[in-house]
Amino acid sequence: MRKVLGILTGDFRLYHDLVAALRARDIPFVSLSSSRRIPETVGAILTSPAEASEVRGPRVVPVDDLPSAIAKALQLLRGRSEWRDLSIGVDPGRAPGVAVVGDGEVLDTRIAETPEAVAKEVRTALRTFPAARVRVRVGHGDPTNRNRILNALVQESVRVEVVDEAGTTRRTAQPDVDAAIDIARTPGVQVKPPFEIRPTRGEVREIQRRSRLDSEGEVTISAELAVAVARGEVSLDEAIQRQRSRDRKSED
């Protein structure tokens, strides 16, 4: 008998988001009611964290992070609740690609909002996919963003490796994610942060160019502010606002 996912929640927004996400991926599911018996065809139930303790059924998955909860529920349908080896691959960049690979199988992929946000994605993966052995593998390219990622991981109790990215870049619809999958599957050299972050002149000029674009030509942030943006100390929007404030003061 083929098992399917079940959705059981009184949270209308969560229900809507789950239905939209499952339909977008063409994943079969059934909507459940707490007043009715759960069908035998349901192999895992998605619900809100607040309702999880009240749900009576097989393999209840509280939805803290929607993509990860769906990924975990799908694995539970296949009878997997733990993994021997979990590798989290990261393709460095302003918005790094992240891939979670368990025992050689791709479990989850996503794009982190910033290099520092990779640490949050790692914590989510560890919570969602318990494993006996865990490694985070970061591609060696883009040293500025790579080192920001590595420094953000310093508080996480995991083995961190840097991987030679040669051959991981592909011409696909999701190059960052696909590169992260390859990085997750490639052994690297263990490293221990922190690392110095030294933006290149080219990176500084590129951030200044982006400041002009984002401000519609009104502002070009200083090299000092561009360095702070490159290091992750301030966002580009914050830097633009600071530059605007400085420019107004100089005009007074």
Four-residue CA torsion sign, 186, 196, 202, 173: positive
231-248 burial, b if ≥16 CB within 10 A, otherwise e? bbeeebeebbebbeeeee
CATH 3.40.1000 correct for 4-77: no
Superfamily for 83-190? YqgF/RNase H-like domain (3.30.420.140)
- Structure letter (DSSP) for residue 37: P
pLDDT at 171: 59
Integer Cα distance of 192 and 22 in angstroms? 39
Q: Which residue type, as a one-letter code, is found at position 116? A: E
Mean pLDDT of the 98-102 span: 95
Tell me: pLDDT of 168 over 60: no
- Of 118, 121, 83, nearest in space to 102 by CA: 83
As a whole number, the mean pLDDT across the chain is 91
Per the rule left: phi > 0, alpha: psi between -120 and 50, beta: everything else, 243 is alpha
Record the pTM: 0.82
Q: At residue 95, does pLDDT exceed 90?
A: yes
CB 76 within 8 A of CB 61: yes
Per-residue pLDDT for 35 more than 90? no
Distance, CA of 210 to CA of 223 (rounded, Å) = 13
14 contacts 59 by C-beta, under 8 angstroms = no
Strand partners, 135: 87, 159
pLDDT tens track for 44-77: 999 999 999 888 877 899 999 999 899 999 988 8
pLDDT at 93: 94
User: How high is the pLDDT of residue 181?
Assistant: 95
pLDDT score, position 3:
86
Average pLDDT over residues 107-133: 93
**For residue 250, is pLDDT > 90?**
no
Q: What is the pLDDT of residue 170?
A: 59
Band of pLDDT at residue 229, cut at 50, 70 and 90: very high
Q: Point out the least confidently predicted range of 96-110, 131-145, 154-168, 178-192.
A: 154-168
Q: 125: pLDDT confidence band, cut at 50, 70 and 90?
A: very high
Task: Give the C-alpha separation, 42 to 49, whole Å.
Answer: 19
